[in-house]
Structure 1
């Protein structure tokens, strides 16, 4: 009896030593070893002692799973950290989408991948990027209301299919190229500020390719993508606003210089520049107030827009100075536009407290390459022609180089 007790104590010491080794390398614990030891206990220890050891083994397994999960997340969160830095440096939507695909491919099996965007109330789902075996099938639009994407958008819940045989509503429209469909799929809602923005999906031709951790990673990546796209679109709106005049609604001087340079880089470069100035803005401001001066500026902008041809661009350059660029227009065509502008203003004077206030402009016209060899030279030529019109009594047009 004493020998049996001694043997059991030695065995217990052996178990404790083994437990200690496992705890010191918990991430390396082999589940098969734990199961084998659990079975071994049945023939060595009495049931009362065996229960305590089995509970301890279960805790070791749980701890191993938690530590393994945390190590797995830590490894991939480093990649996600890199992604946030990449997204912070670009405002190009297409680049953001491709970077997202590259990242997802690094952290999980990704034979197929897409990102879909949806604005609540729309009838269509927009898919700008849809990759299968390295081929981008996007952009694609799908009707809202059918299939797995619509299901995720409506429920805001992740859909995880382990095999091609998984039963779920909309399974008939699973993703993949036309010749071969994917098996394992994750469809995760893109959420931002508690609003549904779309769906991100990773897919594999191998069954059971994904774990719960992959869903969590894809959700994190999806949030970063949605945030980056929102920022990029906001930046684009602000960028476009920087080229538009707030008072008149037409383009501004930044847009003028940008567009003129682009025109002169085309083949063959040819453009007519119409520069015009209000004749009486200061007098209107002084006599009637700046609110009517603002109305005068808007009226000239209307005249430019109404008289411009398709392909022309109109600008409020500064104060009451305006520009019209007409690529490939002849001098006669430019003169016709000026006549249309002046006629529009003649027919649409300002009216204030029953008083009619005429709106007239002085105009200068120059053409590239006839009158100048550079963008600055063209602007100076039109400006000189405009000065001639002012000098000649206003309310007239002058072509550069003429009296």
Structure 2
């Protein structure tokens, strides 16, 4: 059973090694994929975290500004009504002393706009003479307000010129000749508003996360399309010089109300557009409080980590391949060494009977193909008086004799001949492809003569001689065991033939 298992392992060792290598490769590949998935997931999580942080801050700022704006609307309305009532009671614009109102309400600046939409008086002297009729859309809006009766407060907005977040309100005089305008610098007038700085928070996120290159906030106009990029310089300002493709993307994001991702592979950039849209109580787009956030991600860190994992995976595969090659080489050595030990006589280093049988099978197959006249010859060689040599000179000397006999046989035989030791002082010799009886006699006689010699051992000369029995394939039989048995019989005939001319005999019946 053990021999069968060993034979199967030897026979299928390459398949075994290949399967084992495949299993390990499969394991390493899945481990590599798991690590890659983990890295990608980590970057996705980091991106999501950055986006949620920005939106949380935006919601916080937006909510705070709405609360503040509600308070400012009430305050500006109260002040505007006081000014209009004063105008009505004292009969004319000349009665409105803006310095008085500035002193009373220092957080506000005051303006008077006439029917030609020109600023005729202002607490900020450099604004006097400013004419809004040069701006068609805004001038139409101011005229409608001047012709109406209602107080109107615009939403807080970033000034394009100064970058300050300001709020404006308007109320017409009863005679519709003037508009009384109020403005307030939100962050200057309200210390709490200074802390509501989304842009500084966005900058801190950029510094904190290597994957984030930029966070940009695009303001939405009344039509629900892009009106400009809110940027940070010395203050907050609105940059209207936006690339057409960016404007188109923002418009699609606003219309679909869904985020959009654009990848710029050559530049290692990923642009994520996310809408932050508010609705009015009537369900319409509250464009004044609506934005589109664009986060620019740098994919270089992700690619670098993935490249490191690919390199590490390559190193692991190379080491795995080297380990398996070494393992295979070791297995081959061990199998061959085991096979050699199992198939070789340790004393004489001659092959065993298993090898002899294999060579006989090859010889008979070759003979059947090539010629029916050729014969294979089996010799049974037995040393004469070997027991006396052991008894007289000792077993160590007997071993030396056996080693020398094996050496003589190897040197005497042809390249294709086979000699094995089958035990004690007995040897088998296979002579394949013998063409004639004369050739057989010549070769056997040569072997017989070679085995008659004197061996010097420890200062003494020991006479060596052997008896040889010969059986022929196919004349004496076809089965190897039968041929060995008949050669053994012939050997005993040679050993018992006293005073014979030769010490070898060919098997014959009778």
TM-score, scaled relative to structure 2 = 0.40
Structure of higher CA gyration radius: 2
